[in-house]
Chain A
């Protein structure tokens, strides 16, 4: 019969240690069709047609694109459900039937720039890399030949309403019904962190995994600052966060739920949520078992007699689980000629060590000197067990550095590499070169040991936020951490100099040559000064008398 499709939406609200509140929206569409095997798909129902056409035309196996404004502060907010770097990030796995991956990648970025109203057409060979070990496919599949993977970031990319508008239009209910009603740009962008992403991948339908479906996940993560609305009290409501309340679930959704993280206080002493609910759920997420209050929007009873749902959350204080892995990056040095990039990775586990894969993509205008690369942990040299380095080529390729480093327990690992800044050609500078040039975030992928046993059965009914990364073993979970992007100043010429030089040269030539010419060609005559008044009258009288003048 007709391929079945299914749409689920959920919102997870997690109050944070610092008083801020973290809201994560996930909208998932599952579709049992097959874009690849020749039969053209022409009837789209819940799955957006623009993305379906992109998948079939460019033979895409997996597509992950995210737009982020702000930087995720791991030490204050813990780990996000879905990490993303500042700016725009796009990584795509192509099918193995694609012959010209680079050409298809260029066309794909142009098409996506039209769909999402972003300048993704600036993605070209100078900022695209082909990681050799990071970014394994998140969907099902046997082939992992990294020839079909491309990764690019645009750290300068701005996210604003014009990116949110087409993103909302991809949802089956648009922004008219369901949880998407809360997505109002004036509140979403007045926040400390805003990230919207689209993830497309093939997934298993059931535990036997004999059939596959295409999964489209649209996620939106936002962290609202405690002090922005002005009050400063540890009290948040849906209306305060989004300036809207909920009145109904999306009619096309098979499940529409709100989860509120009440883990630290199941008795309800420190923590208060109203309207109260008796539905509780436990989920294994980020290596920890968390308890959630659940509000099911498909039940009319959730909305009560006023037919609108405005959740109120009040808490007094909150402990935070110390994040096991976090990273920092900064530029050291002085002047505009050389510098040093320092990346610090912190392992906060008291006794376990774990491996991390560090991926660094540095633009060609920062010339890295890889012979100065050092990796030190606890003061001693820490030799990576795998290094992949692809040197840059001016104006063609960026640097790619991938290292597998084992982080000892309770330690800081520092990776340093020196670089030299290049002088660009005059036309390669942006219209505002004194702002600086961005270097994309480093990506640190790792298998972090978990406190509780993770659930490896991937197809059991789980909330969407805990089922994104596939889990292969129980003792650890996969995580990605992004560092800050770097902003470096390149030696910038004074762009007014051509005009100044022309003016100066012309003045010098005019004055110098002009004076010389006059000196050479002018003839001099001696002239008597005009006589005074008395003499003039005397001369007139003498002329009348016929006598020669004075």
Chain B
């Protein structure tokens, strides 16, 4: 990681040899100290292959630009790569004629299949997860994190469909972001959505430091790009296809800013009109770099201290061990029945007995009690 920082510095220095101090200064003066990405594909079933390909292509770009797997929460609602309908298993292609395999050999999906629900998505964003959730499934961001959130799937005016069985509305999403702001879970947040009528999802945002991009306006449908005849389904959506093409030109020390991102996929290529929203963003979008959200910043402190490692003391065990008999037939046949733990009688049984006793005493009177005691 130290070498990465130094090599990036060197990159910066080598790009403009005339003003090295200025570039180095810019590197250290960005407002965030770590980057996170939450990438969600919400569609199930084989014909929604393109949504998984969309999410995986953003995942590839974000990994390439430096965000590590531990800082990416990837949610895929269905498995396309090892689906039995896939003619080339363990691959997900984004270009026809199978040019680019966005699934690759090194992928870690954190939420998959039935786990991708509205509840889990909102819990990841707000951090309110059950205590036994592993680290890879948590968004452990703080107030100096820049977060990239990418959603894709089927949507409509004001909602996004999850797995064809439930929906998230734009009001819920705006409230989740407000919860994140109040708990100081982000420094700046970039929200990208590629669905039909995507602009409706960011209409209701009201928290500061949010920037949003959508693939189509309200009333418009986002269209898919190209089918592949061997696989038999559409491979990518247009907006994400041109977004991927744009991101392929970005490298970790690129100076491209958000205004270039807004120009991705004009109406002539996308057929729908991409939209964006920057009024809640406090900085000027021209001063926000693409790598502020898609790349990664890792600050490293170098220390010269040394620590002495002590050798552990080995204890010698004295007992003799042996392997267990795998199928001890005679032992099993003569197994004693398990001693069931004694539980106090259930409420229903208690009530029933009380009723019986009450009826008995009411019928025969209390004088019979003396026969018992």
Known: A190-B90, A211-B316. A431 touches B163 (CB 8 A): yes
Q: Interface segment, B175-183, B259-267, B318-326, B360-368?
A: B318-326
Residues of B within 8 A of A202 (CB): 321
Known: A132-B338, A190-B89. A117 touches B108 (CB 8 A): yes
| Interface pair A69/B324, CB less than 8 Å apart | no
| Interface pair A386/B335, CB less than 8 Å apart | yes
Residues of B within 8 A of A37 (CB): 315
Known: A188-B90, A432-B44. A43 touches B82 (CB 8 A): no
| Interface pair B335/A458, CB less than 8 Å apart | no
A273 at interface by CB-CB < 8 Å: no
| Interface pair A140/B312, CB less than 8 Å apart | no
The A-contacting residues of B in range 247-285, CB under 8 angstroms, are none
A306 at interface by CB-CB < 8 Å: no
The B-contacting residues of A in range 441-475, CB under 8 angstroms, are 445-447, 458, 469-470, 472
Partner of A446, one of B112, B132, B327: B327
Q: In this complex, what residue of A is CB-closest to B326? A: A478
| Interface pair A140/B321, CB less than 8 Å apart | yes
| Interface pair A160/B82, CB less than 8 Å apart | yes
Report the separation of the CA atoms of residues A502 and B135 in the bound assembly, to the nearest whole angstrom.
44
Partner of B324, one of A39, A107, A144: A144
| Interface pair A386/B333, CB less than 8 Å apart | yes
Nearest chain A CB to B186's CB is how many angstroms away? 23
Residues of A within 8 A of B106 (CB): 161, 165
Report the separation of the CA atoms of residues A118 and B335 in the bound assembly, to the nearest whole angstrom.
37
A74 at interface by CB-CB < 8 Å: no
Report the separation of the CA atoms of residues A521 and B90 in the bound assembly, to the nearest whole angstrom.
70
Report the separation of the CA atoms of residues A202 and B163 in the bound assembly, to the nearest whole angstrom.
43
| Interface pair A142/B321, CB less than 8 Å apart | yes
| Interface pair B115/A121, CB less than 8 Å apart | yes
Nearest chain A CB to B170's CB is how many angstroms away? 21
The A-contacting residues of B in range 93-113, CB under 8 angstroms, are 103-110, 112-113
Number of A residues near B (Cβ < 8 Å) is: 71
Q: Interface segment, A7-15, A108-116, A364-372, A392-400?
A: A108-116
| Interface pair A160/B90, CB less than 8 Å apart | yes
A159 at interface by CB-CB < 8 Å: yes
| Interface pair A111/B132, CB less than 8 Å apart | yes
Report the separation of the CA atoms of residues A138 and B335 in the bound assembly, to the nearest whole angstrom.
20
Residues of A within 8 A of B167 (CB): none
Main secondary structure of the interface of B (DSSP, over half): loop
| Interface pair B332/A117, CB less than 8 Å apart | no
Most buried by A among B45, B321, B322: B321
| Interface pair B327/A445, CB less than 8 Å apart | yes
Number of B residues near A (Cβ < 8 Å) is: 55
| Interface pair B322/A140, CB less than 8 Å apart | yes
Nearest chain B CB to A550's CB is how many angstroms away? 57
Mark interface residues in A116-149 (1 if CB within 8 Å of B CB, else 0). 0111011000000000110011111110100000
Q: In this complex, what residue of A is CB-closest to B69? A: A165
Residues of B within 8 A of A404 (CB): 329, 332-333
| Interface pair A212/B320, CB less than 8 Å apart | no
Report the separation of the CA atoms of residues A385 and B329 in the bound assembly, to the nearest whole angstrom.
9
Q: In this complex, what residue of B is CB-closest to A110? A: B132
Q: In this complex, what residue of A is CB-closest to B116? A: A431
Known: A386-B332, A446-B327. A119 touches B113 (CB 8 A): yes
Report the separation of the CA atoms of residues A432 and B110 in the bound assembly, to the nearest whole angstrom.
21
Residues of A within 8 A of B204 (CB): none
B317 at interface by CB-CB < 8 Å: yes
Nearest chain A CB to B116's CB is how many angstroms away? 10
The A-contacting residues of B in range 70-125, CB under 8 angstroms, are 79, 81-82, 88-91, 103-110, 112-115
Mark interface residues in B329-372 (1 if CB within 8 Å of A CB, else 0). 10011010010000000000000000000000000000000000
A96 at interface by CB-CB < 8 Å: no
The B-contacting residues of A in range 156-187, CB under 8 angstroms, are 156, 158-162, 165-166, 184-186
Report the separation of the CA atoms of residues A34 and B133 in the bound assembly, to the nearest whole angstrom.
27
Nearest chain B CB to A389's CB is how many angstroms away? 12
| Interface pair A189/B322, CB less than 8 Å apart | no
| Interface pair B109/A186, CB less than 8 Å apart | no
Report the separation of the CA atoms of residues A122 and B115 in the bound assembly, to the nearest whole angstrom.
9
| Interface pair A447/B326, CB less than 8 Å apart | yes
A3 at interface by CB-CB < 8 Å: yes
Q: List 15 A-B contacts (CB under 8 A).
A: A113-B134, A114-B110, A114-B133, A114-B136, A114-B137, A117-B110, A138-B324, A186-B90, A204-B321, A385-B329, A432-B164, A446-B327, A447-B326, A447-B329, A478-B326
Identify the A interface with B (CB < 8 A). Answer: 1-3, 32-34, 37, 39, 41, 43, 69, 106-107, 110-111, 113-115, 117-119, 121-122, 132-133, 136-142, 144, 156, 158-162, 165-166, 184-186, 188-190, 202, 204, 208-212, 355, 357, 385-386, 404, 430-432, 445-447, 458, 469-470, 472, 478, 495
| Top 9 closest pairs, chain A to chain B, by CB | A114-B134, A160-B82, A470-B323, A110-B132, A140-B321, A189-B90, A431-B163, A189-B89, A162-B109
